[in-house]
Amino acid sequence: MIYIALAVLVLYAVVKVKIYHTRYWPEIIRVTNIQLTAVDSIIYQSDSLLIPINYKGSIDLRDVNPDKRKDLFIMHILPAIVITRERLMDDLHHVDFIEDRINQKKSLSRSDSLFLVSIKQRYETDSLSELKKRIYPHPVSLVLTQAILESGWGTSSIFRNGNNIFGIMSFSSDDPRSQMPFIEGDDDRYLRTYNSIAESVDHYFLFIGTVSSYKKFRQKRWEGGASTQLVRYLGRYHDHSEQYAEMAQSIIVSNNLERYDNISINPKYIGTETLESFLMKY
């Protein structure tokens, strides 16, 4: 009986190792949900290790002291930005894994094949090299800068009522959206609305990753451009003035936003999908 038990154990170990090396095991981030009831609900984070938090609900920062408002706004949206970037990098590593197996003429697991089909559809490309450029996220400081410009440090109506941090427009009646204030002579214009900050950040990265006018921007960020360099490739970002890049650079420098570019999620909140959790899904 002992020999049989040992044989079964060895067989299990061999199968597990084989599965591990023939499919990608995604990263799991343990996120804490916090319901916003007041500005004091927002947790202050360091600029090195982040506690992953998903804030639910909304708050009004308009009556908060301007200096405190800046800190609160950054702390409010920072977790969603860092978590989304971490997940994008995990997707990028997944694509790298798949590309390596294809180059070695090895078969793909069912889960990897499904992932590849899904992510190609999401980013609207069949090219793996182009896909990686579209997924690869830009620095935290630039995301924060655009959030600041587009929401007025969290005071805009569409941010407070629709979680739209980046002023993203809607051109389809199928979108969840809100009509912009009427301007005489203009056609009806709409802004996207989102259920959460996290959803807004996720769509923003997808927007930058797929819209054709940001192709040069994507190439420059793939080459490792810093935020102060990348802003020059954002054009006027919607209908803003031609001084958009100068305004963005000024915000980055004056608020020392590049200190967040090396922030990472505290490792104790990150794990890897296990064989057990994988088998539970299939």
Would the CA dihedral through 176, 178, 180, 182 be positive or negative? positive
Helices 128-135 & 110-123 angle (0-180, nearest 10): 70
Which is more confidently placed, 233 or 276?
233
How far apart are alpha carbons 75 and 78 in whole angstroms? 5
**Would you say residue 125 lies in a domain?**
no
* Residue-number span of the structural domain to which 194 is assigned: 2-81+138-281
CATH number of the structural domain spanning residue 188 = 1.10.530.10
**Would you say residue 102 lies in a domain?**
no
Write the DSSP string, 130-167: HHHHHHPPPPHHHHHHHHHHHHTTTTSHHHHHH--SS-
**Would you say residue 47 lies in a domain?**
yes
Angle, CA of 59, 60 and 66, to the nearest 5°: 120
Which tens digits make up the pLDDT trace of 103-144?
999 999 999 999 999 999 999 999 999 999 999 999 999 999
The pLDDT value recorded for residue 238 is 63
The pLDDT value recorded for residue 20 is 47
Order of strands, edge to edge, in the sheet holding 177-179? 169-170, 190-192, 177-179
Which tens digits make up the pLDDT trace of 57-67?
988 999 999 99
**Would you say residue 209 lies in a domain?**
yes
Average pLDDT over residues 28-52: 96
**Would you say residue 6 lies in a domain?**
yes
Contacts 24+ apart (CB under 8 A), 11-19: 16/275, 19/109, 19/275, 19/278
Model confidence pTM above 0.75: yes
Query: Where does residue 153 fall: left (phi above 0), alpha (psi -120 to 50 degrees), or beta otherwise?
Result: left
Phi then psi dihedrals of residue 257, to 5 deg: -75, -20
Q: Report the number of distinct structural domains present in the chain.
A: 1
For the chain, what is the mean pLDDT?
89
Query: pLDDT > 70: what percent of the chain?
Result: 85
The single-letter DSSP state of residue 47 is S
Contact yes or no for 253/228 (Cβ under 8 A): yes
**Would you say residue 109 lies in a domain?**
no
Contact yes or no for 230/124 (Cβ under 8 A): no
Q: Alpha helix (H) ranges present in 66-196?
A: 66-103, 110-123, 128-135, 140-151, 157-162
Q: How many CB atoms lie within 10 A of CB 194?
A: 20
**Would you say residue 187 lies in a domain?**
yes
**Would you say residue 200 lies in a domain?**
yes
How far apart are alpha carbons 212 and 210 in whole angstroms? 6
- Is it the case that residue 227 has pLDDT exceeding 70? yes
